[in-house]
Amino acid sequence: MNAYVFPGQGAQFVGMGHDLYEKYPIAKELFLKANNILGFDITEVMFNGTAEGLKETKVTQPAIFLHSVILSKVMGASFKPDMVAGHSLGEFSALVANNTLSFEDGLRLVSQRALAMQKACELKPSTMAAVLGLEDGVVEKICSETSGIVVAANYNCPGQLVISGEITAVELACEKLKEAGARRALMLPVGGAFHSPLMEPAREELATAIDNTNFASPSCPIYQNVPTTAVNSPAEIKKNLMLQLTAPVKWTQSVQQMVKDGATVFTEIGPGKVLQGLIKKIEPTAETQSPIVDS
């Protein structure tokens, strides 16, 4: 079975999507439509901007969404997913790819999500850190015993977990994790504690927007970050999407479940190959690939 997976924040690069814009009329049409919906020239930042400009949350999230969704559109009839999943932000791309959300509604929600997250980041200084070489249970235990807010946020693959929370709590947890034998506990250059309780103001804002958006029946199941199993009900998809900002990204568990349910080939749709690397660590027997599009 074919699983299509969609990356999240961090996969962006200057020039992303420009080849699609130049080659495919449908891509050009959607990029220009995106400029109108967002109210600024995102194509200019994506194609000709700076890495710094592309790092702005209000740009990064729509840019990755656009690259992923437009890439799936130009694949035409060869895009035939039996199941989809997205890493954090990538879940919105996946929901357009399996026809749960329209392109326009997906882009609006992603833009609102980015702005809401940015606001939440400004309310309280917070950060994230990557922890390598420890079992999930050990990381969870140390986080729960550390004073302040710090939680497991991204279960990326076995032995690679990202923690998230208040700056002092994350720093303290990193020290304890190194003492417990972590190969690395490295602070990440991010401006906020994504997928932690500190994102509650953003979750509330986004929940209202999701509530007011039409979700159709998907053309194939999505394996959401919450609850990591196949979901087909629009109402359930909505509910899970509302939880996503404050709940952890259980990528390891999602991929394991997809394999259990018959996934044999994982195609990563979007910039980069980060998810292919993670999937190989989660399930070494799975085949991973980038999409092939006609030139």
Residue 185: which H helix or E strand, with range? strand 184-187
User: Is the pLDDT reported for residue 119 higher than 60?
Assistant: yes
| pLDDT bucket at 283, cuts 50 / 70 / 90 | very high
Q: Which pLDDT value is given to residue 294?
A: 66
Task: Tell me, yes or no, if 219 is annotated catalytic.
Answer: no
Nearest to 149 by CA among 132, 117, 172: 172
Res. 292 pLDDT band, cuts 50 70 90: confident
Alpha carbon 108 to its chain centroid, in Å, reads 16
Cβ atoms of residues 152 and 140 within 8 Å? yes
What pLDDT is attached to residue 213?
Answer: 97
Which pTM value belongs to this model?
0.95
> Residues of the chain with pLDDT > 90: what percent?
89
Lowest mean pLDDT among 10-19, 28-37, 286-295: 286-295
- Asked if the model's pLDDT at residue 52 lies above 70, the reply is yes
Q: Is 195 a catalytic residue?
A: yes
Active-site residue (options: 68, 87, 111, 195): 195
What are the DSSP calls for 224-249, one per residue?
-TTT-SEE--HHHHHHHHHHTTTS-B
Catalytic residue among 68, 72, 88, 164: 88
Which pLDDT band holds residue 10 (cuts at 50, 70, 90)? confident
Average pLDDT, the chain: 95
